[in-house]
Each structure stands twice: as structure tokens, then as C-alpha cells.
Amino acid sequence: MLEYDAMRQGKTLVVGHRGACGYAPENTMPSFRKGIECGADILELDIHVSLDGELVVMHDSEVDRTTDGTGPIEGKTLKEIKALDAGVKFGPQFAGTKVPTLKELLDWAWNKIPLAIEIKGDPFPTPGVEEKLIKLLREFRILSETMVISFHHESMKKIKEIEPSLATGLLIMGELVDPVQVLKASKSDSLRPGWQYWSKDKVDLIHKKGFIASTWNADTEAVMDRIVPMRIASIGSNFPDRLRKYIDRQGKGI
């Protein structure tokens, strides 16, 4: 697992958040291509399930914010989702950009770059999404190059029970009284709070117990100055080129 290698070496991986969503429409192919151009080690993305059971790459449960459409993803067929423009709201130069399916992204990313796939849900993930995801990852034979992350503890536990070899990560916003116990209960390999919630002592504890410390999103040098010295194994950014340059200047790149 890439993050374990980084932890053991005291290095930090650059994670492109929703691709490179500071530069291109989030969770779209232009954003993912930009993420690679920016030097990301891993690309992060989000998935939901369409009305007809397709795994669709989008952050929100509704299409309103990032496309020219309205309504929930779960209420739309893939054909309806593919008719949406996922780029024009970001900028006219991206007009006509489509919402990708996870399969389309995997076809493109295979043998290029590892992925961190976040299972979304409002308020809970679609039943069966874990099985659908693992089936697809097995078909592409990329279990060792992929991690699955989520704010939903039960999803992380289910993923690990179905496919123990798959790396998993627990997203949180806030502090946990006993993070080690929560990681064990959810069968997660990594803890991934917002950067504000890490301290050096907490990072050291998580790594000492055999888990991975990760975080998001470092977009300014002030944030990088605060968290990179903690030896966090991976850090997300909306501008992965900024983080790449900082990490490399510090000699922390893997």
C-alpha cells in the first residue's frame, strides 16, 4: 500500500482532491488529467449510484451545484446524467464536459495513477454500493492500486469484510475521543480528518498503532507549514502542483 510505504519512509504523498479541482471542474476528466499534470501521486474522487445502478463520479448527492441540471443522482438514469453539462458552471472553456462513470475513469486511470475512491451518501450510501465497487475493482484487477474511503463507518467495515486486501480510510470532520478504537471497529487502515484536527502527537499515536495518518486539503503554504512537518503520510489538495512543489522542496516526496 502506497501510504504505508510513505509512512515507513517518513515521506508524504500528494493527493489530487477531486482531480485538481482548483483548476478544472471537480470530478471530471479534465480535472483528473490536470491532477496528473500537477504531479499528484494519487487522485481522489467521489461516487454515487444512479437510478439504473451505475457508479457515477460526483461529490454531491444532487447534480445542481456542479452541472446545468437539477435533482438527485439516485433519481436519474445514466442517460439523463450523461446529458448534463458538468463543466460550464466552472468556466465557459469547459462547456460540454460530461459526468464520468467510475468505469470510464478506471479505463483511463489504469496503469497511470492510483485512486482514492470515496463512497458518498445522503444520509447513507445506496445499499449495495460496496459490492458494486469491489466487483468493478476486481474486474480491473486494481485492488492493490486503490483505496476506498468514506465518512460512513459501516461502509468501511463492509468493504474490508468483502475484500480484506483493499486499503480503507475513515474520513471525519472533528475529533475522536478514541481514534484507535474507531479505526479498529470500522476496520479502517487510515484516519483522514480535515487538516485542522491533526497534531504531531496524534499523528505519532496513529502511526505507532499501525494505522495511517492522512488529511485534506492543503492549499496554502501556511497550511503546509503547519502539517507537513508532522510526517502525515498523504495530504490532499485542490491545487496539487502547489503541494507537490512544497513537498519536493522539503525533500518529503516519495
Catalytic residues: 17, 59
Q: Any residues with CB less than 8 A from the CB of 173 and at least 6 apart, and which?
A: 151, 193, 194, 197
Distance CA 230, CA 201 (A): 9
Asked if 245 contacts 25 with a C-beta cutoff of 8 angstroms, the reply is no
3-class SS of residue 83: coil
- Residue in this structure with the C-alpha cell 483548476, named with its chain if needed: 23
Q: Are 109 and 35 in contact (CB under 8 A)?
A: no
CB atoms within 10 A of CB 131: 13
Q: Is residue 4 left, alpha or beta, with left meaning phi > 0 and alpha meaning psi from -120 to 50?
A: alpha
Asked whether the CA dihedral 93, 96, 99, 105 is positive or negative, the reply is negative
Q: Report the DSSP pairing between strands 55-57 and 42-49.
A: antiparallel
| The one-letter amino acid at 89 | K
> Which triple of cell numbers denotes residue 228?
507537513
Contact 239, 21 (CB under 8 A): no
Q: How far is CA 202 from the centre of its chain?
A: 22
